[in-house]
């Protein structure tokens, strides 16, 4: 249907035309919406079941002290995330502002001076280079704190090079870093 011109045309006619256009687009998109809903519903059900299993309530979102001590919701939210993602455990904190921040906290929390970190999947993505100490200085990187780092390139097939890994494991390591985005 061609769009009516507004010069002297009845507003009701223009509104009817607009409604017809919306209905036409909605009918064309309906199969896509239905497919999307079918994909989303099992995921939504999984989340809602985790909420129910942990008996999540509004009281879990009220901080007790501001320090996290006795925070009723912290452990509940952690358990819900673990259930939804099929993990043994999860840590969910709004204080982590990015994936790099969370990985950095784990690395700095686990590694000590003299420990050896080996990346078995090649070079980490660029945001971790400064954290490890591969780029930049004076930022308080792992290498500046005395953590040793080794990097193994991936094989020609983009898989872990197990012979290089066997060789690297001849010297004790504290942590193997595996990253695939």
pLDDT score, position 127: 87
pLDDT score, position 5: 59
Residue-wise pLDDT tens digits, 53-107: 999 888 777 766 656 666 778 888 899 999 999 999 998 877 778 888 989 999 9
The answer, as to whether pTM is greater than 0.85, is no
CA distance 6 to 14: 8
CA distance 128 to 135: 9
Q: Which residues, 6 or more positions from 76, have their beta carbon under 8 angstroms from its beta carbon?
A: 54, 55, 56, 60
Residue-wise pLDDT tens digits, 25-58: 999 998 888 888 888 998 999 999 998 999 988 8
N- to C-terminal Cα separation, the chain:
48
Query: pLDDT-based confidence at 6, cuts 50/70/90?
Result: low
pLDDT at 181 over 70: no
pLDDT score, position 87: 92
Query: pLDDT-based confidence at 111, cuts 50/70/90?
Result: very high
Query: pLDDT-based confidence at 8, cuts 50/70/90?
Result: low
Residue-wise pLDDT tens digits, 122-173: 899 888 999 999 988 778 899 999 999 999 998 888 888 888 888 888 898 8
CA distance 57 to 60: 6
pLDDT at 1 over 70: no
- Of 108, 101, 105, the closest CA to residue 146 belongs to 108
Specify the residue for token string 């005395």: 146
Specify the residue for token string 């687009």: 25
pLDDT score, position 96: 79
Maximum Cα interatomic distance, the chain, rounded to a whole number of Å? 87
Pair of tokens at residue 14? 């223009």
Pair of tokens at residue 161? 């090079």
Work out whether the CA dihedral 59, 62, 68, 73 comes out positive or negative. positive
**Size of the chain in residues:** 181
């Amino acid at each position: 249907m061609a769009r009516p011109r507004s010069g002297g045309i009845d507003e009701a006619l223009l509104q009817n035309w607009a409604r017809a256009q919306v209905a036409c687009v909605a009918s064309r998109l309906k199969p896509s919406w239905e497919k999307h809903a079918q994909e989303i519903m099992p995921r939504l059900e999984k989340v809602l079941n985790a909420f129910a299993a942990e008996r999540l309530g509004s009281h879990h979102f009220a901080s007790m002290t501001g320090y996290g001590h006795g925070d009723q919701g912290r452990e509940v939210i952690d358990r819900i995330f673990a259930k939804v993602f099929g993990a043994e455990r999860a840590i969910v904190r709004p204080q982590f502002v990015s994936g790099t921040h969370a990985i950095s906290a784990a690395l700095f929390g686990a590694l000590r001076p003299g420990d050896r970190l080996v990346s078995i999947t090649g070079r980490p993505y660029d945001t971790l280079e400064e954290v490890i100490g591969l780029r930049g200085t004076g930022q308080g990187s792992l290498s500046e704190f005395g953590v040793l780092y080794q990097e193994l390139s991936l094989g020609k097939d983009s898989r872990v090079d197990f012979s290089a890994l066997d060789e690297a494991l001849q010297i004790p390591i504290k942590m193997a870093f595996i990253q695939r985005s």
